[in-house]
Structure 1
Amino acid sequence: MIFDLIDPIHFGLASLIIFGAYFIFGISGFGSSIIAVPLLVQMYPLKSAVPMMVIIDICASLYLGRKSSQDANFKELKWLFPFTLIGMVLGIFLLVNAPSEPLLITLGCFAALNGARVLWQRNSEMQDPINKWWAAPFGFFGGTFTALFATGGPIYASYLGLRINDSRALRATMAFAIFMLTFLRLTLMLVTGLILSWPVIGLAICLMPATFVGIWLGTHVHAKLSNVAMRVAYGSILIFSGTMLLIRQVLD
C-alpha cells in the first residue's frame, strides 16, 4: 500500500531531497536523479526509487524542456540516442535481474567520483570540441546508468559540455535530452512492469509540489549564479550523496 512508503518522517526527508535535486535541475537542466537516488535508496528500495524518479522526471522535464526546447541543439542528440537505447536495454536487464548491493555500490562510486570531477574542473573552459564519434561510449554508458539508476545525466552533460560552448544552448539541450531519456525509461519500465505500482505512483504524485517549487526557484537563481558557483554546489552534493550511500553499504 502507498501508506507503507509514505511514512511521515521518510516523506519529509524525501520532500527535502526532491526539492534540492530539482533546484539543481532548475539551475543546470540535469542532475536531479543522481542527487536524489543515492539518498532516496537509503529509505526506499532501489526498485521503488528509480521508477518513482522516472515519473517525477518526466513531469519536470515536460515543464522545463517545453520552455527551453527552442534553444536545444538537436543535431547533437541525434548522434547520442541510438547508442543510448542499446545501453538502456542492458541497464533494464541488470535492474530486473542483478542483486541490488553491487548496483548501489556502483552508484555511490559513480556519484562521488563525478562530484570530484566537477569540483576539479570547476574553472575550466572548453577548448576545441571533441569528435562526434565519442557519442558512442558516452551514449552507451549514459543509457546504462539512466536505466539502472536514472542517473545518466552527468555522462551526457560531460559529452555535450565538450561539444557545445554556449551555456544557454547546453542547458536547453540537456533539458530536452532528459525529457527524451525519461520517456524511453518510462516505455521500458512499462514493458517490464517495474512502474506498474500504485504505491510508487502515489508517492511520486505526493512529491510533485516539492519538485515544482525546486524547479521554480532553481530557474530564478540560474540567471544570477555563476557557472563556477553552480559547479561547486553541484559537485559537493554529489560527493556527499555518493559517500553516504557507500558508508551505508559498508555498515550494512
Structure 2
Amino acid sequence: MEPIQFALAMLVIFVAYFIFGISGFGSSIISVPLLVQMYPLKSVVPMMVIVDICASLYVGRKSSKDANFKELKWLFPFSLIGMILGIYLLVKAPSEPLLITLGCFAAINGVRVLWQRNTEMREPISKWWAAPFGFFGGTFTALFATGGPIYVSYLGLRINDPKALRATMAFAIFSLTFLRLTLMLVTGLILSWPVIGLAICLMPATFLGIWLGTHVHTKLSNAAMRVAYGSILVFAGTMLLIRQL
C-alpha cells in the first residue's frame, strides 16, 4: 500500500464520517466515489461494510432512542429484496450505467433539498412510497454502499424532526449494513484479508470524524440540517458523475 494513497484514504474516511456524525448518513456515498479511484470497487464496497458496522454501533447506541422504528418496518422488507438484486449485479454486471443513474438522482435530489431548506414539510408522503424507495435503496446499498440518499429522501418526507431523522438514518444504516454483511459472507466478497486489514487501518480516522461531527450536530438548526443533507447529495452526485463522464 502506497503511503500517499493510504493518507488520502484516511482523509477521505475522516471527512466522510465527519459528515456521518453530523447527519447520520452520507459516509459511503462520499467516500466510495473517491476510494474507487484508488482501490477496486469489489474491495471498497465490502470494506465499507466493516467500517459502517463499527461506525453505526458507535452512533446508534447513543441515538437509537430517538429513532422512528415504525418507518423502518415499512422500508426493510423492500430493502432486502433490493439487496439481493444488488449483490447479484455487483458480482455480474458493469457498474458504470448504475453509477451514472445514482449520481443524477443524488445531485437532483440534493438541489431539491437545498431549494426547500427554509420550508416546513406540510404533509408526509404516503407510507406506500416505502416500496420503491426501499427497493432501490437496497439495490444501491448492496451495489455501491451508497443507498443513503435514497433512504433519506424517503425518511425526510416522512419525518420532520431533524434529531429523529438523524437517529432513524443511523439505525437504518446499522441494520442494513448487517444485512449486507450476511449477503457478502454468503457470496465470499468480504472474506479477504486485504479488505479486512484496510478497514482496520482506517478505523482511527472513522471514529475521529464521527466524534467531531457529533459535536457539530448539536449546534445545527433544522434549516442547517437540510443544508447539510442537500450539500452532501449534490457533492456526492457530482463526484459520481465526474468519475463516470
What TM-score, normalized to structure 2? 0.93
Q: Is the 8 A contact 1:114 1:235 kept in 2?
A: yes
Change (3 A) 1:187 1:138: same
Specify the alignment match of 1:91 in structure 2. Answer: 86
Q: Is the 8 A contact 1:107 1:149 kept in 2?
A: no
CA displacement, residues 132-177 of structure 1 (integer Å, 9 cap, x when unaligned):
1111111111111111111111211111121122222221111111
Specify the alignment match of 2:122 in structure 1. Answer: 127
The letter of the residue matching 1:85 is L
Would you say 1:117 and 2:112 are equivalent positions?
yes
Q: Is the 8 A contact 2:149 2:233 kept in 1?
A: no
Specify the alignment match of 1:78 in structure 2. Answer: 73
1:162-201 correspondence to structure 2 within 5 Å: 162-201=157-196
* Whole-angstrom distance in 1 between the partners of 2:201 and 2:72: 32
Specify the alignment match of 2:237 in structure 1. Answer: 242
The alpha carbon displacement at 1:104 in A equals 3.4
Would you say 1:65 and 2:60 are equivalent positions?
yes
Specify the alignment match of 2:135 in structure 1. Answer: 140
SS in 2 for 1:146: helix
Specify the alignment match of 1:42 in structure 2. Answer: 37
Specify the alignment match of 1:3 in structure 2. Answer: none
* Whole-angstrom distance in 1 between the partners of 2:111 and 2:83: 25
Specify the alignment match of 1:33 in structure 2. Answer: 28
Aligned mate of 2:222, from 223, 227, 238? 227
SS in 2 for 1:128: coil
The letter of the residue matching 1:130 is I
Greater shift, 116-125 or 151-160, is seen at 116-125
Instruction: Work out the percentage of aligned pairs sharing the same amino acid.
Output: 87
Structure 1 residues without counterparts, runs of 5 or longer? 1-5
* Whole-angstrom distance in 1 between the partners of 2:106 and 2:8: 20
Q: Is the 8 A contact 1:34 1:111 kept in 2?
A: no
What TM-score, normalized to structure 1? 0.91
The letter of the residue matching 2:159 is I
* Whole-angstrom distance in 2 between the partners of 1:59 and 1:215: 11
Change (3 A) 1:237 1:139: closer
Aligned mate of 2:149, from 151, 154, 157? 154
Structure 1 segments of 4 or more deviating over 6 A? Answer: none
Q: Is the 8 A contact 1:157 1:174 kept in 2?
A: yes
SS in 1 for 2:118: coil
Q: Is the 8 A contact 1:68 1:172 kept in 2?
A: yes
